[in-house]
Chain A
């Protein structure tokens, strides 16, 4: 096999992206945990890991740029590097979302506890699941797992919509709970964003593995055998 150095560079790029993915996933898990147990020290951990994530984002983009300029990658290699660049950006946003959630938790710490008609832990676990699965699809270069992630996005969107309705009703009928409801709404929005980023990552994996651009299509089937979405 020729181009050993190049192959090694691609492996290194993958490794670095997985490190970053680990940090982003951990940040989300921690943010959700912080919400569940109202622990401010966990919020601090999330803020600190944000710095590491940002640094990694810059490094990965730089490595990818170097590979594009120096190695003239083609076909699979080219698609891989392009996917890495895009997944990189999505992971950084996931990190941002985690920080946003932890900021909301900090905010809520200063308010009275309230019972709200939203199941944030369930939505959170769904979103985190999507992130985990999309990263698994990346690690295993498996387009089928990635397609699985795409179908999960609808559930999260539905939950976000119903949360919006429920929380708006709370704000209208129980004005004293408005700050808590608003915070909860913003947390739901962040979680919905996380799910969107996981979807993007899954689409990028499909692009890399199959060379098919499945973004913004309701029909998520493979290029040759069209299967309408149920």
Chain B
């Protein structure tokens, strides 16, 4: 089951660059929330603050509070632990090149010390089914390498890999931007199905995609969150003129 995310006074820096300023928002559990905004507005940085990946950059710094469920992720737990509860799918599919499909999906479990073979088989199958890839690869699980699949399949493999560790939150950073329309549709359908089990945060450049999959949408601009509301409101009658201008393409 998914959990809600509560962000309070989040500020982030890359060196001296104040990338995120005073972000406050509540991401509801078991919903898909989209984050839109022009390039460089900080939405990717924001998402990387939610699983403490921002600080892996040598000059990355974060202040503020992020509560996922009942945990303050910057105070109560170690980064490694939070990343097992908050999965991430990246813009470009990045399956592990030396591993088979099976090993890719199981990587998060195996490399965290989990080794019960029978349950691993079940988890791999369930994850691949959840990411709508099972039927296409079930005969080649251990024979084919993860990198030999098509782009859309690779991205679904990465989703399966993220789901295998049973996270509560799934962060997706422009997951379909490198994919063709058919693969994009498959991923969007997938997000729709996954919503009921996980909390999903999706960063996207594509406003129509945000409108299609997310119940709530946040508009970021220059490191600040300008407006956060139901997707319906944002796209039919936004409250802030800057949101309106971005959405209608008057700047951007």
Stretch from A68-76, A102-110, A158-166 contacting the other chain? A68-76
Q: A2-B250, A2-B251 are in contact. Are A74 and B237 (CB under 8 A)?
A: no
A44 within 8 Å of B by Cβ? Answer: no
Q: How far is the CB of A82 from chain B (nearest CB, A)?
A: 10
- Give residues 133-190 of B contacting A (CB, 8 Å): none
What residues of A have a CB within 8 angstroms of the CB of B236 in the complex?
74-75, 78-79, 211
Complex alpha-carbon distance, A220 and B10, angstroms: 42
B208 within 8 Å of A by Cβ? Answer: yes
Cβ of A75 and Cβ of B237 under 8 Å apart?
yes
Cβ of B207 and Cβ of A1 under 8 Å apart?
no
Complex alpha-carbon distance, A3 and B250, angstroms: 7
Closest to A211 in B: B237
Chain B window 215-252, contacts with chain A (Cβ cutoff 8 Å), 1 for yes, 0 for no? 00000000000000000000111100000100111111
Cβ of B249 and Cβ of A3 under 8 Å apart?
yes
Cβ of B235 and Cβ of A72 under 8 Å apart?
no
Cβ of B237 and Cβ of A6 under 8 Å apart?
no
Chain A window 125-163, contacts with chain B (Cβ cutoff 8 Å), 1 for yes, 0 for no? 000000000000000000000000000000000000000
Q: Please tell me the number of chain A residues within 8 Å of chain B, measured between CB atoms.
A: 13
Cβ of A2 and Cβ of B249 under 8 Å apart?
yes
What residues of B have a CB within 8 angstroms of the CB of A75 in the complex?
235-238, 244, 247-248
Q: How far is the CB of B126 from chain A (nearest CB, A)?
A: 37
Chain B window 69-99, contacts with chain A (Cβ cutoff 8 Å), 1 for yes, 0 for no? 0000000000000000000000000000000
Complex alpha-carbon distance, A77 and B237, angstroms: 10
Cβ of B244 and Cβ of A6 under 8 Å apart?
no
What residues of A have a CB within 8 angstroms of the CB of B244 in the complex?
75-76
Residues on A lying within 8 angstroms of B by beta carbon are 1-3, 6, 72-79, 211
List 17 A-B pairs, Cβ < 8 Å: A1-B251, A3-B248, A3-B249, A6-B249, A72-B207, A73-B248, A74-B236, A74-B249, A75-B235, A75-B236, A75-B238, A75-B247, A76-B244, A77-B248, A79-B236, A79-B237, A211-B236
Closest 5 CB pairs of A and B: A211-B237, A74-B247, A3-B249, A75-B244, A77-B248
Q: A2-B251, A3-B249, A75-B237 are in contact. List 14 more A-B contacts (CB 8 A).
A: A2-B249, A2-B252, A3-B250, A73-B248, A74-B235, A74-B236, A74-B249, A75-B238, A75-B244, A76-B244, A78-B235, A78-B236, A79-B236, A211-B237
Residues on B lying within 8 angstroms of A by beta carbon are 207-208, 235-238, 244, 247-252
